[in-house]
Structure 1
Amino acid sequence: MPANVGAVKVNNVSSSAVFNIGDVFSINPVSSAKTYTGGGSFNTGNGTRVQISNSYNYVYDKDIIDQETK
């Protein structure tokens, strides 16, 4: 069934956003990122204890591109 849409005002659409008006079957936004962090960087919670004597981040990537994003 067709959608009847009235006036629409768009102030901003970010680079990773999806904007749709009307009928749609599927919307599949795609993005990718590579993050380098040290040991214990993404720990969350109450009373978390992390003891790391030495933490090294090796950021050398010989093939440069990991996987193509379509």
Structure 2
Amino acid sequence: MADVEIEYCVPCGFLNRASDLAEALLSTFGEDVDRVSLVTGAHGVFEVRVDDAVVFDKESDEYDVDEITRRVRAEL
């Protein structure tokens, strides 16, 4: 079992994106993860981590729910 964290920038208004992604990950991996956590951040951050391994960072990756889901699956 794994922990997934979605850290998102509050001032940037990324809450909807983070909650949509959390729902997609829970729908796909609900029985394979211990938790999917939303972590508040600032300065434009939007990162997805699986057990501290960064699988998505908006600074270097294009946001795509399907691609993020594939990356999470690879870590699980």
* TM class, shorter-length: under 0.3
Taking structure 1 as the reference length, what is the TM-score of the superposition?
0.22
Greater Cα radius of gyration, structure 1 or 2: 1
Taking structure 2 as the reference length, what is the TM-score of the superposition?
0.21
Higher relative contact order (CA 8 A, sep 6+): 2
More strand by share: 2
